[in-house]
């Protein structure tokens, strides 16, 4: 007897695969575009529904960046930050973190967490003809 996200459909398989393969935070429309290569008729509503389900079951988490609609990445990764290519708009995962930034907060403030976003050009956009 099943509960949430109970049936294994081609659409859901494709969406999960795309998120594993691309391995970076994806917007719903990026997921749609990539997953349509596997399931041509895929609709955006299914993408939203599936992403919501993945977040609810804990296997994906939303990634919020300044001025952008949420993207989604698979969960289970350790503390990390992101790089946003200002040319192609893709967001990449960074490894590691320089550490604790509590010292930046004013006296009397209690820092609980932090986010770092780097902006610039990714390799593909710097070297368009490899």
Partner DNA sequence: GACAGAATGATAATGAGTTATCATTATGAA
Partner DNA sequence: TTCATAATGATAACTCATTATCATTCTGTC
Question: Annotated binding site for Fe cation: which residue ranges?
Answer: 79, 114
Q: Which stretch binds DNA (CB under 7 A): 40-48, 78-86, 105-113, 114-122?
A: 40-48
In angstroms, the CA 32 to CA 34 distance is 6
Closer CB to its own copies, 12 or 82, in the complex: 82
In the complex, least distance from residue 8 CB atom to DNA, rounded to whole angstroms? 4
Q: Is 67 in the site for DNA (CB under 7 A)?
A: no
With residue 3 as reference, give the H or E element that holds it: none
Q: Is 2 in the site for DNA (CB under 7 A)?
A: yes
DSSP, res 84:
E
Dihedrals φ, ψ of 42, to 5°?
-50, 140
Q: Which pair of structure tokens corresponds to residue 2?
A: 């099943």
Closer CB to DNA, 2 or 104, in the complex: 2
Q: Which pair of structure tokens corresponds to residue 112?
A: 């609980």
How many residues in the shown chain lie near DNA by CB under 7 A?
24
């Amino acid at each position: 007897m099943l509960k949430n996200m109970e049936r294994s459909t081609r659409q859901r398989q494709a969406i999960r695969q795309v998120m594993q393969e691309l391995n970076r935070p994806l917007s719903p429309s990026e997921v749609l575009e990539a997953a349509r290569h596997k399931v041509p008729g895929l609709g955006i509503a299914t993408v939203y529904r599936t992403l919501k389900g993945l977040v609810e079951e804990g296997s994906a988490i939303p990634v919020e960046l300044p001025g952008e609609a949420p993207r989604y990445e698979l969960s289970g990764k350790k503390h990390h930050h992101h790089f946003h290519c200002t040319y192609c708009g893709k967001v990449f995962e960074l490894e590691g973190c320089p550490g604790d930034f509590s010292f930046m907060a004013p006296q009397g403030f209690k820092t609980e967490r932090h986010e770092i976003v780097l902006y610039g050009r990714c390799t593909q956009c710097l070297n368009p003809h490899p």
